[in-house]
Amino acid sequence: MRNIYSSRPYAAITAIGGYLPQERRTNFDLEQVCDTSDEWIIKRTGIKERRILEAGLATSDMAVMAIHDLCTRYNKDVADVDAIIVATSTPDVLMPATANIIAQKLNLNNVWAFDMNAACSGFLYALDMGASLVETERYKNVLIVGADNISAFVNIHDRSTNILFGDGAGVIWLEPSAEEGIIDAFMQSNGDGRDFLNIEGGGSLYPTSEKPFNQERSYLKQDGKVVFKQAVQSMSNACKSILERNQLGIEAVDWLIPHQANKRIIDAVGKDINIQKNKTLTNIEYRGNTIAATIPLCIWENIKQIQKGDLLMLTAFGAGFSWGASLLRWMI
């Protein structure tokens, strides 16, 4: 849906990059630390392994590697970047923003940089925000990073979370375009999810300075059943709503790129919105849920299948709850 500034440029994705840590955490590794099995995990989630960032590194390190990858592949100069938005729930430190740390590592001195926490929907939220910056013509070259070092918050002995999550970073470069690029974004949230998906420790309510500090609070907690149901419903509704308000049928969509949380969620959304099975892109089998990085990483890893001019529908759901869908024309 074109906005009221229709004489203004579109924002289009002109480059993409990604980074995955070397270390693999397989289902067999998890069998050693909790009561689970490779068979159960594959059947209930579709995941075989995840990547884990080594100790001593953090979210900004993965983001910087992803940005270097983008610049190398697409011959971009990072010195041209005007703004960086980092979608993450796992910043390097509480303050300053991971975006500032990335700016320092890239030697960028006059960049508009900040973090956005919308959990697993973060990349879609940041993409919408970045596209708006480009459409106003105040910013020309905007990096949207989705990066999470979620393994730092996963209790390795907790089978309700350790089976799902992995680390990674993805990034896209946005620029003004006369042709269609980012077409529309339908983003929503509420506060219903607080008890069902959270990391409570280390914020201002439960600071680490509290004595005694309850270590359990520093881990990711999830009520999987509640989250599962909401995720399917919210992503399906967001996809239907964005198609409807752009007067498009599902057959117009070339590729659905859903948040990679659970293969059964992906399949249920695909079924609900009635998209052909071979039009849904995934990488969950070997990556797991990388929070804000799932969508850019999934595009990055399936890039050979996507052609210039293809219509992409992205959809995500996460803590908050927060969710949404985006429509864009692939212009690379």
Selected binder of ligand UT7 within 114, 217, 224, 285 (CB under 6 A): 224
Selecting among 237, 259, 262, 283, the annotated active-site residue is 259
Q: Is residue 160 a contact point for ligand UT7 (CB under 6 A)? A: yes
Count of residues for the chain? Answer: 332
Minimum CB distance to ligand UT7 smaller for 261 or for 269: 261
d(CA 168, CA 149): 7
Q: Is residue 231 a contact point for ligand UT7 (CB under 6 A)? A: yes
Selecting among 237, 262, 283, 289, the annotated active-site residue is 289
Q: Is residue 318 a contact point for ligand UT7 (CB under 6 A)? A: yes
Q: Is residue 146 a contact point for ligand UT7 (CB under 6 A)? A: no
Q: How far is the CB of 296 from ligand UT7 (least distance, A)?
A: 15
Q: How far is the CB of 121 from ligand UT7 (least distance, A)?
A: 9
Chain centroid to Cα 190, Å, comes to 19
The angle at the Cα of 306, spanning 300 to 311, to the nearest 5 degrees, equals: 110
Q: Is residue 44 a contact point for ligand UT7 (CB under 6 A)? A: yes
Tell me the site size for ligand UT7, rule CB under 6 A.
Answer: 21
Q: Is residue 225 a contact point for ligand UT7 (CB under 6 A)? A: yes
Minimum CB distance to ligand UT7 smaller for 174 or for 284: 284
d(CA 263, CA 125): 22
Selected binder of ligand UT7 within 227, 243, 292, 328 (CB under 6 A): 227
Alpha-helical (H) ranges within the chain are 27-31, 38-45, 59-74, 98-105, 122-135, 224-245, 263-273, 284-287, 294-301
Q: How far is the CB of 122 from ligand UT7 (least distance, A)?
A: 11
How far is CA 196 from each of CA 88, 150, 186, 201, rounded to the nearest angstrom? 19, 17, 23, 15
Active site residue 34: no
- 8 Å CB contact between 41 and 34: no
Active site residue 298: no
Residue of this chain nearest to ligand UT7 (CB atom): 224
- Among 34, 51, 8, 9, smallest CA distance to 286 is for 51
Active site residue 289: yes
Residue 15 bridge partners (DSSP): 173
Q: How far is the CB of 84 from ligand UT7 (least distance, A)?
A: 24
Q: How far is the CB of 290 from ligand UT7 (least distance, A)?
A: 10
Q: Is residue 297 a contact point for ligand UT7 (CB under 6 A)? A: no
Q: What burial class does residue 26 get, using C-beta atoms within 10 Å of its C-beta: 0-12 exposed, 13-18 middle, 19+ buried?
A: middle
- 8 Å CB contact between 141 and 173: yes
Strands 255-258, 182-189: pairing is unpaired
Q: Is residue 315 a contact point for ligand UT7 (CB under 6 A)? A: no
Minimum CB distance to ligand UT7 smaller for 36 or for 302: 36
Selected binder of ligand UT7 within 71, 163, 292, 298 (CB under 6 A): 163
Name every residue whose Cβ is closer than 8 Å to that of residue 286 and which is 6 or more positions away in sequence: 48, 49, 50
Q: How far is the CB of 319 from ligand UT7 (least distance, A)?
A: 7
Residues annotated as part of the active site: 120, 259, 289
Question: Contact positions toward ligand UT7, by CB under 6 A?
Answer: 36, 40, 44-45, 120, 159-160, 163-164, 197, 224-225, 227-228, 231, 261-262, 265, 289, 317-318
